[in-house]
Amino acid sequence: MRVHIIGGPGSGKTTLAQSLSDQIAVPSYSLDDVAWHPYGSGTRPIHERVRIVTDLASQPDWMTEGAFLWWIEALLKSADTIIWLDVGCRIVHRYASRSIARDIRIRTSGG
């Protein structure tokens, strides 16, 4: 089975992917891990991301999750199921408020 879960921040993509992956016994992959180099050394180039997801898409079973669209065409074409998680207004408000508060703390602390 090949499943891709997509949705905005805080929509529950990772939680759902881990739960479903355990239930149907397929490996789960986060597209954040594909997008970013390990150990916080920046993002991978697009061509490298495309190569990784193309390799993943060729596997017989997988579960992927992430909000990226522009470099995951191979996954979307190969998926048996695509799950779209919609985020409610309360969650969007909470994330926006948190982000604004973080920006204010950084500016006032000189960071």
Q: What is the pLDDT of residues 21-68, one digit of tens each?
A: 999 999 999 999 999 998 878 999 999 999 999 999 999 999 999 988
Predicted local distance difference test score (pLDDT) of residue 9 = 81
The token duo for 50 is 């495309």
**Cβ atoms of 50 and 56 closer than 8 Å:** no
H or E element that contains 104: helix 89-108
User: Looking at per-residue confidence, does 94 or 44 come out higher?
Assistant: 44
List the beta bridge partners of residue 65: 5, 30
The predicted model gives 92-105 an average pLDDT of 73
Q: How many domains does the chain have?
A: 1
pTM: 0.77
Mean pLDDT of 66-82: 93
pLDDT value of residue 77 = 96
Determine the pLDDT at residue 108.
62
User: Percentage of residues in the chain with pLDDT exceeding 90?
Assistant: 63
- What are the Cα distances from residue 69, in Å, to 6, 11, 34, 50? 9, 16, 13, 11
User: Residue 22's domain is classified under what CATH number?
Assistant: 3.40.50.300
- Residue 11's domain comprises 2-108
